[in-house]
Chains A and B, each alone.
Chain A
Amino acid sequence: MLKKRIVPVQLLLGERLVKTVRFDTHRDVGDPVASSKVYSSQDADELVFLNIDREGRSADRLLRLLERVSEVCFMPLAMGGGIRALADVEALIRRGADKVVINSAAYRDRDLLAQAADKFGAQAVVVSIDVRRDLETGAPRLFSDCGRRAEAITLEEHIRAVSDSGAGELLVNSIDRDGTMEGYDVPLIAEVRAQSRVPVIACGGAGNYTHLKDAFLATDVEALACGSLFNFGDNNPLRAKAFLGNYGIPFKKI
């Protein structure tokens, strides 16, 4: 049986990892390579690295990091942040990434998704979708460019369009819940899960293991991503899985 996954998300700003709150403010949460070694020792299911530096958007920083991380982490690695060209995707995959995470480019250059999927397989192409709920209606609104640019397309249309273009997985992020540690936006996760024919990783809001339990039990989501949970609070992936195991949620045993 395929297991559920818990995926630590590591946000890269310059040479350090940071954590944001609602995509704003930055708090240092460690060294990227040391942190990856820690997650590796803690048998994390997979690691996602996102370069959130709004100035330095080239893939170089990711490549340099990947070089070092892939020497010490032998688990699936997903890299994203500023990926705009097939050459970036190629460079990352050759350097050891299993998946690339594409956000802004997915709105205007779906050809990139198709080319990447064609060359490396759909499972290597993760489309990341950042969502803020409309203040009046509560409807999900999509944003690109690190949460700065509002996109007109609806959630449902975008999910369909990117899956048709070759995305093999979706990473959905609640900007509203990001860093708040108040729990996932479970209705959003359920909505995305229902509309997506590819696996979904949901992110944004995990503050304790009960939040993960609630999201896993209420939806069919394949994976839950965590940023703050493992940085603030006496938590690690092993403890999370032990706790969730007591509620029947299956994780890998190694």
Chain B
Amino acid sequence: MDEPLLEICGLRKSFGGVQALGPLDFALSRGEICGLMGPNGSGKTVLFNLISGHMKPDAGAILLGPKRLDLVPLKPSQRRGLGFSRTYQYTKLFGSMTVIENAMVGFGPLPALRSLREVFDLRCRRATERALREKAGNALGWFGDRLAPRSNDLGLSLSYANRRRLEFARALVGSPALMLLDEPTAGMNPYETLELQRIIFQLRGQGLTFLIIEHKLFFLEDLADRVMVLVQGKRIAEGSVQEIRSDPGVRAAYLGDHDAAQA
């Protein structure tokens, strides 16, 4: 439990004159579920983009796994194979593909030689397709009958909440050790939110680690071991949901409750 899976040291990112993130130091243990909160523009998604490689940091290191491999010099496509995956704040599904195909892409590319062989070897491709379809089907299966019966519909024909579930499933297919979820419950009603909570809890039981951007405290309440709050790129609070809820700085940031901040 205490073995660090992800370690972030002195990470900084600015856009022009605006310091969007950091400097931030932060560590995530294996099997932990950590919530990430903060008002709009506080740098939560920037942190995700830095970890997944879609943005380059100005300074700092992102160390992954027991070997403490630094991700910063790697391209986003190279990072995926190292055992983490993410979802996006605005869902990014593949519009030309069906639900199951969307999930299958999550497995990532095959080795080049294998791909080449498959162009000419019918049987080889059929075997791969069957295996991938099964893996993707298992990932869709986590969401009960919300996605599986729609396997052959276009991904974009899904409802907003189901698109989020499909992104989650796509991120699951490559069997990652760490998942970064960007507002996974947006567009879901309270009942569906609790359903997702249960799924994440079960996945953690299988050894996954989660970093979750979320605004709904009741979602994080029974789920997160720890919550970190960012405001203007800086950590202003960290602790259990109870501690965060009563933290005057957090109340001020979210509600503009300046009296509480001074108290």
A and B: bona fide binding partners:
no
Q: Which A residues have a C-beta under 8 Å from some C-beta of B?
A: none
Q: Which B residues have a C-beta under 8 Å from some C-beta of A?
A: none
